[in-house]
A and B are shown apart, each in its own frame.
Chain A
Amino acid sequence: MSEEHYLELCENPVQFENASSVNNVFFDEANKQVFAVRSGGATGVVVKGPDDKNSVAFRMDDKGEVKCIKFSIGNKILAVQRTPKSVDFISFIPDYPHLECSQECKMKNASILGFCWTNWNEIVFVTDQGIEFYQVLPDKRSLKLLKSQSVNVNWYMYCPETAVILLSTTAQGNVLQPFAFKSGTMSKMPKFEIELPVVPKPAKPNLTERDIAVATIYGQLYVMYLKHHSRTTDSPCAEVVLYQLPREGSYKKTNVLKLNTTGKFALNVVDNLVVVHHQSSQTSIIFDIKLREPDCALNVHQPVLPGRSIHPYRIPLTGLAAVPTQPPVPCELCILYETFSPACLTCAVCSPFASGYLWYLQVKLPPTVNLLQDKGKLMDFLLRRRDCKMVILSVCAQMLNGGDKGGLPVVATVFDKLNQVYKEYLEAEQTYTVATESGPSRGSAARERPVRTQAVIDQSDMYTHVLSSFSEKKDTSHKFIIAVLMEYIRSLNQVQITVQHYLYELVIKMLVQHNLFYMLHQFLQYHVLSDSKPLACLLLSLESTYPPAHQLSLDMLKRLSTANDEIVEVLLSRQQVLGALRFIRSVGGHGNISARKFLDAARQTADQMLFYTIFRFFEQRNMRLRGNPSFIPGEHCEEHVVYFKQVFGEQALMKQVTV
């Protein structure tokens, strides 16, 4: 069953000291840092981030109990809240003195609910009466108020990726007011109301921050509302309602995720998937909002996969406790669900140890392959994941190597999906190239080079990882192999991608191996295998086993129109000297051809009249070009002149006409 856990915790969690009477622990979502503050900072503050770069340790004076502590972006300035009215700042700018200053909130009688850094030196205070947007001036040891807005606030939520703060207002708390921040500016976004399942009477705060999460999914900002089951409505199960908050324009209620159960939930967003943890069943389910459900109304989603628990994580005891021989102990993951973090990671406090852990949640793709039977849906799902390439290729390989029932229609669907993504990438690349070549003059906004994600599976990937080994399988019928190759070529053609020569070669190899020359002939007749010089040469090499290949090859060379030399070579090798000469004359290239090559070929036929004709042709050409029938030394035709004299006599040589 372990191969069914499609969620796992990252290898290296952030480990920190557990909260206690002397140790306060804080988590900053923006920088993903855990702060362990011992004795108000006097005995040390240990900051740990997901990588070592973000880890700092320092001391500060104990000026009272710390309520909230956060670094600005880049660890430049530390903000510490100790009282409900003010926040203290300590500069951490390298090569700068640790200057300190303090700022009280402007509004009278307001108390600070919290603060968020929106930049390395810009901070927002959220109070119960509104928000205040400041710029910190560390060298002046002061703050400058940039903007403020007064509104009654129940609670707030911050999305660091987009620098958007969401405020809960009104008595019920269900009217959400977002603000967006960007380098010194603050903009108010349209507020919106969350429809509550039950309206309490009298009105009291009914929507809590536990039921709301903010996250970016597929580059868009969403507010996720966990709508619990209510007895009054007929929907017995909980659901997650997604509101999309576009940069401009008003919000939209876009998606509904059906949880099909009730209880306590926690939400995460990982790799653009919404992960919902269900506490009582210890399982998690995932939703992909781009995956359309055929049997559901538009934008109502069922879980992509059946619920599974997170892969058990074993904490190596050796690194922690004293008993080195003891095997790793499975961590108690139940606690995990109690810690609710809207950001892309999961916090946990681990009970058996005096230690806390912070993990990133990760999606493991290989187990999804067996859980999602519908291959088309599986491909849609995989193509949107970050580390999907090898999984997709293994799905393709597995699909072709039997075991699967879908057969060719499924193969076709999968190929079409892969090539659609491949095509979109090629098009973007093309537009970019055109744009950069046309110079920066046109379109001031410099285009960004399209990113090649792992979902771009090109022909060489398919060839190397799937098709070449598949075509060598002995236990698969060649009919199926050829059908699959043709299906791939069809799919590429459908989206107008130029098929690479090695794929044609594979097809030809299969056909030749099984003596299916007539099939090959028909493919070529309808130009299914596109013309190219290598293909023409390959056909020439087949001539001995399949004589018509000669004609096919010559036709192809003719169509290429850049292969006249090759055509001449082919004809000469078949001793069709006159034919070669007539051909080169018809395309107008006979002025500068090598006379020696033709004379050599004519000599080999042992046909003296043919030799005479060819010799005379070149004499006439020489006459036309240079006014003299004789060959120049550079043409190396001396031996042929000697032979000509020998056979036909000196007097047969063309005389130079002197005027």
Chain B
Amino acid sequence: MLMISPRMASGMQEKQYTPSLLSFFVYNPSFGSREGEEEKKILFYHPSEVEKNEKIRNVGLCEAIVQFTRTFCPTKPAKSLHTQKNRQFFFEAEDSFWIVMVVRNPMVEKPNKDGRPPTIEYQEEEILDTVYGAVLRECYSMYKLFNGTFGRAMEAGGVELLMQKLDKFFYRYLQTLHLQSCDLLDVFGGIAFFPLDKMTYLKIQSFVNRVEESLSLIKYTAFLYNDQLIWSGLEQDDMRILYKYLTTSLFPRHSEPELAGRDSPLRPEVAGNLLHYGRFLTGPANLKDPEAKFRFPRIFVNTEDSYEELHLIVYKAMSAAVCFMISASVELTREFCEQLDGLVGPQLTLLASDICEQYNVNRRISGPDKEPQFKFIYFNHMNLAEKSTIHMRKTASVSLTSVHPDLMKILGDINCDFARVDEDEEIIVKAMTDYWVVGKKSDQRELYVILNQKNANLIEVNEEVKRLCATQFNNIFFLD
């Protein structure tokens, strides 16, 4: 079921509003500590048309709340503030740099008879701290990926530069935030791994090693297929956010008409004058174009220690995409891009059709009946592996889930419970709508299952979940 806002309920003309972004700002209290200089604290404020004094007031309030809660627990100041109309999330991204996001609670507008203004009912408990807290942290991670840390910007060009960067980045980024479709997956921020047999995986390894050897400029490589990760030369945390960018922003923008025939694994020989299917997703659209610019997006990784700035080259052939990362201090030329295209294009085209073939073989072996009828979300904190049969497709614009938002909220609630204790747990919930929701936590893994069995009892549900674990997760250590 797809939830579109505002939603029309049957019968009464009731209007439902989903959560939405009210404001988003970045401030540093140490920048305007003297009275009358409060405006200096504000580095970025959305929406920008808000009156100056209101901005100052709002920032001041946040500062006060954080300061006040610090007295109770100096290491863990408040993370969110619940009010009737909205919810505020605080995040200290870097030392003294705070990011605040204010989300309006979902609400129902009930029309009244006799022409009286409609009554508005705020649903204060509908949104989850963990989900939106994670969304806020992700905003910062995404900023950092493309701009580096706040601190570095300060060092390089002072407050002006930082404000410029914040403005440039968040102006566009906030438009892509779709707060109505945030759920448990945002909490995990996981990575979907492409299932692959050992031999094909080793071939990919070999390909990556060879390319890195012959183009020694390349520092890191990541390999994806069907928007799922296969290999990352980047560290986990950097890969997590890069993966998010690729799958929710870059790939959806490029997955349009020309790929209509991508499922037919045509070998390059058949394709006439085309030698391979490789092309750049970042940088030059057409190498032959004499006007082509060889500029690539820059990303920042390992910001904790070595702090590297890299060119991000994303190259794709059929369903296989490879990210090549090269130190930003190197100027990338036409020659280099041509060399890369000539080397990687044919190999990647072949590899992509190999993977496709292997994947189809494996699917045929396992058979369609082995496709789970269960709706589940699996996440492993250790390797960030995530798998969801609930989400049809996750893109920047919209996340399609096949279950009711109420159930998604239950999943979020169970997750909060799990986060509270270290030990392995299992929680079984009977939802209002005849659904059973089961959450299991074993060591670093979490599994959430939604079962739709009307008259099932607790024992049957438990058995059902055991069966699911035995078929889907038999090769990992998952305590019953």
Contact = CB atoms under 8 A, between A and B. Distances in A.
B206 A493 contact: no
A557 B444 CA distance: 17
A486 B202 contact: yes
Contacts of B212: 479, 483
Given A480-B213, A528-B202, A518 B196 contact: no
B394 interface: no
A487 B199 contact: no
Interface string A479-502: 110010011011001100000000
Contact of B198 (A407, A527, A579): A527
Contacts of B201: 526, 528
Contacts of B206: 408, 412, 486-487, 490
A582 B478 CA distance: 11
B236 A518 contact: yes
A522 interface: yes
Contact of A551 (B205, B210, B214, B382): B382
Contacts of A486: 202, 205-206, 209
A649 interface: no
B97 interface: no
Contacts of B231: 522
B213 A551 contact: no
Nearest to B211: A408
Contacts of A583: 479-480
A548 B383 contact: yes
B260 interface: no
A521 interface: yes
Nearest to A550: B443
Contacts of B193: 525
A409, A480, A519, A551: which has the most chain B beta carbons within 10 Å?
A: A551
Contacts of A567: 477
B306 interface: no
B232 interface: yes
Contact of B202 (A489, A548, A557): A489
A554 interface: yes
B407 to A, nearest CB: 28
A555 interface: yes
Given A521-B383, A525-B383, A551-B382, A558 B213 contact: no
Contacts of A557: 477
Chain B binding surface, main DSSP class? mixed
B218 to A, nearest CB: 11
B192 to A, nearest CB: 13
A252 interface: no
B424 A490 contact: no
Given A486-B209, A487-B206, A558 B424 contact: no
B169 to A, nearest CB: 27
Interface in B207-248: 209-210, 212-214, 230-233, 235-236
B203, B233, B476, B477: which has the most chain A beta carbons within 10 Å?
A: B477
A452 interface: no
Interface in A550-570: 550-552, 554-555, 557-559, 567
A586 interface: yes
Given A559-B475, A579-B424, A407 B213 contact: yes
A409 B445 CA distance: 40
Nearest to B194: A526
A493 B232 contact: no
Interface residues of B, number: 33
Contacts of B213: 407-408, 480, 483
Nearest to A531: B475
Contacts of B198: 493, 526-528
Interface residues of A, number: 35
Contact of B477 (A412, A479, A528, A555): A555
A582 B480 contact: yes
B11 to A, nearest CB: 50
Given A521-B383, A526-B196, A554-B477, A407 B214 contact: yes
Contacts of A487: 206, 209
Contacts of A480: 213
Interface in A498-552: 518-519, 521-522, 525-528, 548, 550-552
Nearest to A525: B383
Contacts of B196: 526
Interface string B68-88: 000000000000000000000
Given A525-B383, A548-B383, A579 B209 contact: no
Interface in B411-468: 424, 443-445
A555 B202 contact: no
A257 to B, nearest CB: 35
A586 B203 CA distance: 38
Contacts of B233: 519
A558 B475 contact: yes
B209, B385, B424, B479: which has the most chain A beta carbons within 10 Å?
A: B209
Nearest to A492: B202
Nearest to A556: B477
B443 A493 contact: no
A555 B475 contact: yes
A409 B210 contact: yes
A551 B209 contact: no
Contacts of A522: 231-232, 383
Nearest to B199: A493
B471 to A, nearest CB: 15
A566 to B, nearest CB: 11
Contacts of B380: 551
Contacts of B236: 518
Interface in A448-497: 479-480, 483, 486-487, 489-490, 493-494
Contacts of B210: 407-409, 412
Nearest to B214: A407
A59 to B, nearest CB: 72
B467 to A, nearest CB: 13
Contacts of A528: 198, 201-202, 205
Interface string A625-650: 00000000000000000000000000
Contacts of B476: 555, 558
A518 B235 contact: yes
B326 to A, nearest CB: 15
A490 B205 contact: yes
B475 A554 contact: no
Contacts of A518: 232, 235-236
Interface in A389-416: 407-409, 412
Contacts of A412: 206, 210
Contact of A554 (B202, B235, B443): B443
A490 B201 CA distance: 9
A551 B235 contact: no
A365 B332 CA distance: 46
Contacts of A525: 193, 383, 385
A535 to B, nearest CB: 14
B36 to A, nearest CB: 50
Contact of A582 (B230, B475, B479): B479
Nearest to B233: A519
11 contacts: A408-B206, A487-B209, A489-B202, A490-B202, A522-B231, A528-B201, A528-B205, A554-B443, A558-B476, A567-B477, A582-B480
Given A486-B205, A522-B383, 18 more contacts: A407-B210, A408-B213, A480-B213, A483-B213, A486-B202, A493-B199, A522-B231, A527-B198, A528-B202, A528-B205, A551-B380, A551-B382, A551-B443, A551-B477, A555-B477, A558-B477, A579-B479, A583-B480
Interface of B: 193, 196, 198-199, 201-203, 205-206, 209-210, 212-214, 230-233, 235-236, 380, 382-383, 385, 424, 443-445, 475-477, 479-480
Q: Which 6 A-B residue pairs are closest in the complex by CB-CB distance?
A: A483-B209, A490-B202, A554-B477, A558-B477, A548-B382, A526-B201
Interface of A: 407-409, 412, 479-480, 483, 486-487, 489-490, 493-494, 518-519, 521-522, 525-528, 548, 550-552, 554-555, 557-559, 567, 579, 582-583, 586
